[in-house]
Chain A
Amino acid sequence: MNPGHGLAALAVVLVATLAFGVYGLRLSRGTSDFYVASREISPLLNASAIGGEYLSAASFLGVAGLVMAYGVDMLAYPVGYTAGYLVLLLLVAAPLRRSGAYTLPDFAEERLGSLAVRRVAGVLVAVIAWLYLVPQLQGAGLTLQTVTGAPRWAGAVVVAAVVVGVAAAGGMRSVTLVQGFQFWLKLTAIAVPALFLVMAWRSAGAPALTGPDIPRFDRTTVVTLQDPVRFDVTQPVTVRVTGRLDGTPYTAGAVRLGDGGHTATAGTALTFPPGAAVPHRHGLAPASGARWADPLSGAGGRSHPLYALYSILLATLLGTMGLPHVLVRFYTNPDGRAARRTTLLVLVLLSGFYLLPTVYGALGRVLAPQLLLTGQTDTAVLVLPQLTQAGEGGRLLAALATAGAFAAFVSTASGLTVSVAGVVSQDLLRGSTRGFRWASLAAGIPPLVMATATHGLPVADAIGLAFAVAASSFCPLLVLGIWWRGLTDLGALLGLVAGGGLAAVAVVLTSVRGAGHGWSAALLAQPAAWTVPVAFTVMITVSLLTRHRLSPAAVDRVMLRMHLPEEVGSGGSALPPVRPPTAGRS
């Protein structure tokens, strides 16, 4: 890819973000009514802002990559990401908004009146946000590497610096407009190249996507490796090699690749003849098109597909409500009615968006099968436009995709950083302005270190783990806290520690060991299916055992506040507003 275009796109996104962050945008000006300011946040703008903050690296890059490598089972991720909003709306949104809690620790303190639970919730917010930030930064590194060939850490450092800088400068002013704009940027950046992709596929004679054959190179293809790769050959093939293959250096030498595993170093170029079966990266099993399109077939070699599917669905459905940066968006709705319309629009926007990564994933197997060899399926969205559209047009499309990707990293990461910085500064540094600056650093540095030190998991899988931790800690807290009077502080505390802790341990083990096989690996890679029930069980059991800690009066008060509709609850209606008929008004 031409680095110039990519860097220009990157610069535009970053400069725009910084400018918005530092100067802000005027929501209302002149002598206009104050209501104009609040009315300007239409449900559509608000929904776009939610989408903008929510669509992260996982959605923009990860879903396409996973679908390409592991088949249609991976659609569980976008389905869960979208439907998670519905669950959030049904169970949590309105009562939480009425409770007056701005963050999850606020909610814990408000509902249970316990500082210990508040602190544990604060620690969990930081852990979830860090887990969520790591793949964003890794995605940034991958993108910058794909676009310019820069080392992996460079992209992560750039995004982390921008995000921490903006947060430390006082947070992103007029967040709603920025995030709303970024949603449409992301949608454009993924939709326009997708159109060209479909056209390229049609002009190539619309090769079957679900045929009986495994992916093959349709023409002579040069694959240049950016990282050392270990791959498995299933059908022997003669390739031309420049670089080091299986420990032997070659310069444009013809090599017969026999069955079995091979290794190649970074920088090695392999030239495959047309019709050759694509060797797959080690650990990724070749699957025929039919098997790829068959649900629960375990295409790509993941074990226990049924368990994994349900676990992913559970994690994403229930985890959305526990994400630290999602909650605050509900405060931009002027009233409950607008909140419901906003959520409906969010569902529409997200559903529309998620159709597109699927297109990339499906067409990627035909148009860019070499990604299965390099294992960089996460870059499909970035690489495909250029492979299918020669010349300047392709470069422009690639630049657009890059801009969209960086918009995804920056918008999600800044929302998360501000959330963590808020929690850290409020609970640890006693809430001073300077404290917030330091807290922004504290929020940004650990994930940067983790992102540069590790990269093993596909982006969407890594984010799925953050969802799993959220689903096994905050989901029980919110659902039981809002809908069950019997939740005690001790029950909540132990439930948070048990559920969040177990899920976090599973995440750590999975990231250390990488994907494996067998039940233990499946249970650890997708922990939600067992950690969520554990968390619920612990919370309910301990609460029942410690029933004496409940103070009915306090519970009544909080419950009333959360469940009484605003129109009834606001005491201002003691005297009905006097607004005589408006006949005389000119």
Chain B
Amino acid sequence: MRSVITVVSVTLVIAGAAAALFWLVRGRRGFGTPVERAAFAALHEASLAAPLLRDGLGPDSARKAARHLRALLAAPALAVVGDGELLAWDGVGRHHTAQAVAHTGDAIDAGRPWLVPADTIDCGDLECPVRAAVVVPLVVDGLVVGALTVYARQMSAGLVRAAGEVAHWVIAQLELAELDRSRTRMMEAELRALRAQISPHFVYNSLTAIASFVRTDPAQARELLLEFAELTRYSLRKHGEFSTLAEELRSVDRYLRLERARFGARLRVDLLIAPEVLPVAVPFLCLQPIVENAVRHGLGPKAAPGLITIRAEDAGAECRISVEDDGVGMDPEQVRLQLAGEAEGDSLGLGNVDERLRAVFGDEYGLVVETAPGAGTKISVRVPKYRNGVRAS
């Protein structure tokens, strides 16, 4: 009996593993009519090439994409040329690679598809499958960034048409890549905007608080000034979109020490940090605006002493960070406006953090704000511990 159960359970495990493997490499054959299958195959090749081209036109992306583009066209050879140099040659006839750039000259000058004269290709070998070529320039935003050359034994109207269509599709992908880049640039600009935005109130208040110590407690004043200098240095650093949670918390700690100099015993802070998550990469300056919000809107207007609790927990594949205050709370509608970036006044911080988190990790990783007037505020952030391309610098 026991051995039967053993065999059954082991079989189940093997079946599970097999199913998982099948899911990984599931077959793509065996359905539809031949026409449908051809369409599927074409769409599949296109879908494989798309993400490569979305990185822009470079030797690496061109080399990988050329394979799929050639498969789409069923041509013996295909070349991708960019800005005066050959980026990729896929297929046969590699002895022609030296002339590949020269072939594209006329087409690029003309800015439209161009048939390469047979005599400029001929290598004397009658068996060579590379005897004719059509060149389509790749024009992105009115600028020629390169050309796509399709080689064949004989040029047919169908192949010329197909080459044109594929080139248009490539251009569309490159335009999307350009769009991606400008979106990144925009985010970087926004980050710079946030960085420049160490709030003037804070600078003023900190300096006043420090000034008040200069006579009574010079040592304390000196310490605070150094903290202030370090904080500014971190906030104004030029490079890097990401930082580690440890760095962020350190900067938050400096910020809080300066605030404590001002609020004195009115401000208490609790830190509960799981050491496992300290090296996690987070967007640069994503915590300080949240903590600043807690201090300014949560505790500032309140007479009684306030408590801010900052937690960072290890939760499986992600790290959970929350900032909680027992201050006066916020109007949920106001918070919604802030997160949507439509709020009046000087509290752009939360909306910006929310947007950057969503842009980096996806929409499900936005800020979560729990608040009501008089009930304090809790703002939570989830950050995946690892995400490809996200690295602290």
The answer to the question of B116 belonging to the interface, with a C-beta cut-off of 8 Å to chain A, is no
The answer to the question of A274 belonging to the interface, with a C-beta cut-off of 8 Å to chain B, is no
CB neighbors of A among B191-246 (8 A): 218-219, 222-223, 226, 229-230, 233, 237, 239-240, 246
With known contacts A171-B314, A454-B9, A431–B250 Cβ distance under 8 A? no
Selected contact of B392 from candidates A33, A38, A100, A577, CB within 8 Å: A100
Nearest residue, chain B, Cβ from A127: B17
With known contacts A100-B386, A449-B9, A123–B281 Cβ distance under 8 A? no
Residues of A within 8 A of B279 (CB): 97, 100, 331
Summarize A's interface: helix, strand, loop or mixed: helix
Asked whether, in the complex, the Cβ of A512 is within 8 Å of the Cβ of B60, the reply is no
Residues of A within 8 A of B318 (CB): 431
Selected contact of A508 from candidates B5, B13, B233, B246, CB within 8 Å: B13
The answer to the question of A337 belonging to the interface, with a C-beta cut-off of 8 Å to chain B, is no
Asked whether, in the complex, the Cβ of B222 is within 8 Å of the Cβ of A584, the reply is yes
Question: With the chains together, A332 CA to B278 CA distance in Å?
Answer: 8
The answer to the question of A202 belonging to the interface, with a C-beta cut-off of 8 Å to chain B, is no
CB neighbors of A among B235-277 (8 A): 237, 239-240, 246-247, 249-250, 252-253, 260, 268-277
Residues of A within 8 A of B275 (CB): 27, 37-38, 40-41, 176, 331-332, 334
Question: With the chains together, A499 CA to B280 CA distance in Å?
Answer: 32
With known contacts A28-B271, A109-B388, A579-B226, A421–B8 Cβ distance under 8 A? no
Q: Closest CB-CB distance, A492 to chain B, in whole Å? A: 14
Q: Closest CB-CB distance, B280 to chain A, in whole Å? A: 8
The answer to the question of A220 belonging to the interface, with a C-beta cut-off of 8 Å to chain B, is no
The answer to the question of A22 belonging to the interface, with a C-beta cut-off of 8 Å to chain B, is no
CB neighbors of B among A257-271 (8 A): none
Selected contact of B14 from candidates A35, A508, A579, CB within 8 Å: A508
Interface string of B1-37 (1 = CB under 8 A from A): 0110111111001101100110011000000000000
The answer to the question of A2 belonging to the interface, with a C-beta cut-off of 8 Å to chain B, is no
How many B residues face the partner with a CB closer than 8 A? 64
From A100, A127, A551, name the one whose CB has the most chain B CB atoms within 10 angstroms. A100
With known contacts A37-B275, A453-B6, A446–B17 Cβ distance under 8 A? no
Question: With the chains together, A26 CA to B311 CA distance in Å?
Answer: 10
The answer to the question of A199 belonging to the interface, with a C-beta cut-off of 8 Å to chain B, is no
Asked whether, in the complex, the Cβ of A34 is within 8 Å of the Cβ of B249, the reply is yes
Asked whether, in the complex, the Cβ of B13 is within 8 Å of the Cβ of A450, the reply is yes
Residues of A within 8 A of B268 (CB): 30-31
The answer to the question of A411 belonging to the interface, with a C-beta cut-off of 8 Å to chain B, is no
Residues of A within 8 A of B93 (CB): none
- Among A207-215, A373-381, A422-430, the one that faces the other chain is A422-430
The answer to the question of B153 belonging to the interface, with a C-beta cut-off of 8 Å to chain A, is no
CB neighbors of B among A557-586 (8 A): 561, 570-572, 574-575, 577-580, 584-586
Question: With the chains together, A423 CA to B385 CA distance in Å?
Answer: 12
Q: Closest CB-CB distance, A328 to chain B, in whole Å? A: 6
Nearest residue, chain B, Cβ from A427: B317
CB neighbors of B among A1-41 (8 A): 24, 26-35, 37-38, 40-41
Interface string of B367-393 (1 = CB under 8 A from A): 000000000000000101110100111
The answer to the question of A355 belonging to the interface, with a C-beta cut-off of 8 Å to chain B, is no
Selected contact of A37 from candidates B21, B60, B271, B317, CB within 8 Å: B271
From B24, B260, B281, name the one whose CB has the most chain A CB atoms within 10 angstroms. B24
Asked whether, in the complex, the Cβ of A100 is within 8 Å of the Cβ of B317, the reply is no
The answer to the question of A192 belonging to the interface, with a C-beta cut-off of 8 Å to chain B, is no
The answer to the question of B301 belonging to the interface, with a C-beta cut-off of 8 Å to chain A, is no
Question: With the chains together, A455 CA to B2 CA distance in Å?
Answer: 9
Residues of B within 8 A of A237 (CB): none
With known contacts A27-B274, A173-B313, A421-B316, A512–B253 Cβ distance under 8 A? no
From A120, A426, A579, name the one whose CB has the most chain B CB atoms within 10 angstroms. A426
Residues of B within 8 A of A570 (CB): 393
Question: With the chains together, A545 CA to B29 CA distance in Å?
Answer: 27
The answer to the question of A106 belonging to the interface, with a C-beta cut-off of 8 Å to chain B, is yes
Question: With the chains together, A421 CA to B315 CA distance in Å?
Answer: 10
Asked whether, in the complex, the Cβ of B237 is within 8 Å of the Cβ of A173, the reply is no
The answer to the question of A253 belonging to the interface, with a C-beta cut-off of 8 Å to chain B, is no
The answer to the question of A151 belonging to the interface, with a C-beta cut-off of 8 Å to chain B, is no
Nearest residue, chain A, Cβ from B16: A446
CB neighbors of B among A94-110 (8 A): 97, 100-103, 106, 109-110
Question: With the chains together, A287 CA to B55 CA distance in Å?
Answer: 68
The answer to the question of A281 belonging to the interface, with a C-beta cut-off of 8 Å to chain B, is no
Asked whether, in the complex, the Cβ of B364 is within 8 Å of the Cβ of A100, the reply is no
Residues of B within 8 A of A504 (CB): 17
Nearest residue, chain B, Cβ from A33: B253
Question: With the chains together, A422 CA to B272 CA distance in Å?
Answer: 22
Nearest residue, chain B, Cβ from A497: B21
The answer to the question of A365 belonging to the interface, with a C-beta cut-off of 8 Å to chain B, is no
Asked whether, in the complex, the Cβ of A106 is within 8 Å of the Cβ of B271, the reply is no
Q: Closest CB-CB distance, A306 to chain B, in whole Å? A: 29
Asked whether, in the complex, the Cβ of B219 is within 8 Å of the Cβ of A586, the reply is yes
Asked whether, in the complex, the Cβ of B316 is within 8 Å of the Cβ of A432, the reply is no
Question: With the chains together, A171 CA to B275 CA distance in Å?
Answer: 14
Asked whether, in the complex, the Cβ of B314 is within 8 Å of the Cβ of A34, the reply is no
The answer to the question of A175 belonging to the interface, with a C-beta cut-off of 8 Å to chain B, is yes
Asked whether, in the complex, the Cβ of A426 is within 8 Å of the Cβ of B317, the reply is yes
Residues of A within 8 A of B271 (CB): 28-29, 32, 34, 37
Asked whether, in the complex, the Cβ of B219 is within 8 Å of the Cβ of A585, the reply is yes
Asked whether, in the complex, the Cβ of B222 is within 8 Å of the Cβ of A585, the reply is yes
Question: With the chains together, A208 CA to B219 CA distance in Å?
Answer: 72
With known contacts A38-B246, A123-B20, A102–B385 Cβ distance under 8 A? yes
Asked whether, in the complex, the Cβ of B386 is within 8 Å of the Cβ of A571, the reply is no
Interface string of A141-178 (1 = CB under 8 A from B): 00000000000000000000000000100110111100
Residues of A within 8 A of B274 (CB): 27, 173-176
The answer to the question of A467 belonging to the interface, with a C-beta cut-off of 8 Å to chain B, is no
Selected contact of A426 from candidates B60, B226, B272, B384, CB within 8 Å: B384
The answer to the question of A553 belonging to the interface, with a C-beta cut-off of 8 Å to chain B, is yes
Q: Closest CB-CB distance, B205 to chain A, in whole Å? A: 19
Q: Closest CB-CB distance, A336 to chain B, in whole Å? A: 12
With known contacts A30-B268, A422-B317, A426-B317, A331–B237 Cβ distance under 8 A? no
Residues of A within 8 A of B7 (CB): 512
From B229, B272, B316, name the one whose CB has the most chain A CB atoms within 10 angstroms. B316
Q: Closest CB-CB distance, A377 to chain B, in whole Å? A: 20
Asked whether, in the complex, the Cβ of A331 is within 8 Å of the Cβ of B10, the reply is no
Question: With the chains together, A35 CA to B239 CA distance in Å?
Answer: 25
The answer to the question of A280 belonging to the interface, with a C-beta cut-off of 8 Å to chain B, is no
Residues of B within 8 A of A31 (CB): 260, 268-269
Nearest residue, chain B, Cβ from A574: B239
Residues of A within 8 A of B281 (CB): 100
Residues of B within 8 A of A106 (CB): 385-386
Question: With the chains together, A436 CA to B276 CA distance in Å?
Answer: 18
Residues of B within 8 A of A100 (CB): 279, 281, 386, 391-392
With known contacts A332-B276, A578-B229, A584-B218, A446–B13 Cβ distance under 8 A? yes
Question: With the chains together, A504 CA to B237 CA distance in Å?
Answer: 51
Asked whether, in the complex, the Cβ of A454 is within 8 Å of the Cβ of B386, the reply is no
23 contacts between A and B (CB under 8 A): A32-B271, A38-B246, A38-B273, A40-B275, A100-B391, A102-B385, A110-B386, A123-B20, A127-B17, A170-B313, A171-B316, A175-B274, A175-B314, A176-B275, A332-B275, A334-B278, A425-B317, A431-B364, A439-B316, A453-B9, A511-B6, A571-B239, A575-B237
Which A residues fall within an 8 A CB radius of B?
A: 24, 26-35, 37-38, 40-41, 97, 100-103, 106, 109-110, 113, 116, 119-120, 123, 127, 130, 167, 170-171, 173-176, 328, 331-332, 334, 418, 421-423, 425-426, 430-433, 436, 439, 446, 449-450, 453-456, 497, 504, 508, 511-512, 551, 553-554, 561, 570-572, 574-575, 577-580, 584-586
Supplied contacts A32-B271, A328-B276, A422-B316, 8 more A-B pairs, CB within 8 Å: A34-B249, A34-B273, A100-B281, A102-B386, A116-B24, A176-B276, A331-B277, A578-B229
| Top 7 A-B pairs, shortest CB-CB distance | A106-B386, A426-B317, A422-B316, A422-B317, A34-B253, A453-B5, A102-B385
